[in-house]
Structure 1
Amino acid sequence: MSGQSGKTPELTHFVDGLPRMVDVSNKAATTRTASAEAWVILPPEARAALQGGSNPKGDPLTVARLAGLAGSKKTADLILLCHPIPVTGADVQVTLEAAGVHIVTTVKTTAPTGVEMEALTAASIAALNVYDMLKAASKAIEITGLRLLSKTGGKSGDYQAPTS
């Protein structure tokens, strides 16, 4: 596995073949942000239930927003080697578009490590909640396109995903 510089990166999460949480206590706390997205592709019957307001569980988009916010704060409980960090801000946008439900999350912290995993977790948890809320209408719902859109701060610098 090669990094951007062509060098093999040091495997910091494993020492002598055993997993560990990287010590970030000597790193400075800096402002860091990350944004991620996911898509929930809806078959016609799920879209009809969502648009027609006939979904018996209620509004999937509102539930997804709340679930994404909660997910951003629970990331360290779900991602085994992820540091628990203070989430100082989070936003989850959930919109119905022609391709399906589009989820975009942005998470912010002032910490010694980044929030990419928090943004990705928020997007995935929001998408799973859309599925859960609409699964009675269709089991053929697909979750796709989970990816990091951008990040700022930290030693590795800023990142912006290519537009698709």
Structure 2
Amino acid sequence: MSPSSNYELATLGGGCFWCVEAVLQRLRGVHSITSGYCGGKAPGHPTYREVCSGLTGHAEVVQVSYDPSIISYKDLLRIFMTSHDPTSLNRQGGDVGTQYRSVIFYHNEQQKEIAQNVVKEVGAYYDDPIVTEISPLAKFYPAEDYHQDYYNNNSDQGYCAMVITPKIVKLKQHYSDRLKPSEN
């Protein structure tokens, strides 16, 4: 995905990419989101099945195209960091493995510095240490089409109803001023 001249990119992993996508796409200033894979060592474009095996080293991530005049990278990271458990190493709920790690892939040194500061800042709100990895952007591979816009297309599915819907309810409770008008 290449952003327009007004958009910037953020690449984030916080467990299942369906969850992260569903939360962040509701924010004002978010233009588009692509679910995908990043940070692995295996050659070539990995498949969902390969990433789920844990053998490729990739994380499930989303690549967010956003307008920094509406939502800053810092605010995007704050919301991301409070929408999953950044203290849980290589797992989010029932999803276990390095592919579900908490990770921020920065696109430039400014993003790296902001990420480090946000991790420190939100760390004060958790009893356990933050384990979110902060790494330079590696090659991003878009996930298969059926993973894109997953929650919006499958909100009645069991996983979505039990895991993702509560995250969206929490988002609406804590960040109602940051939501797109269609989300209120």
The interval holding the TM-score normalised by the smaller chain is: 0.3 to 0.5
- Higher normalized helix content (fraction of residues): 2
TM-score by length of 2: 0.33
Structure number with bigger Rg: 1
TM-score by length of 1: 0.36
- Higher normalized strand content (fraction of residues): 1
Relative contact order, higher structure (CA 8 A, sep 6+): 1
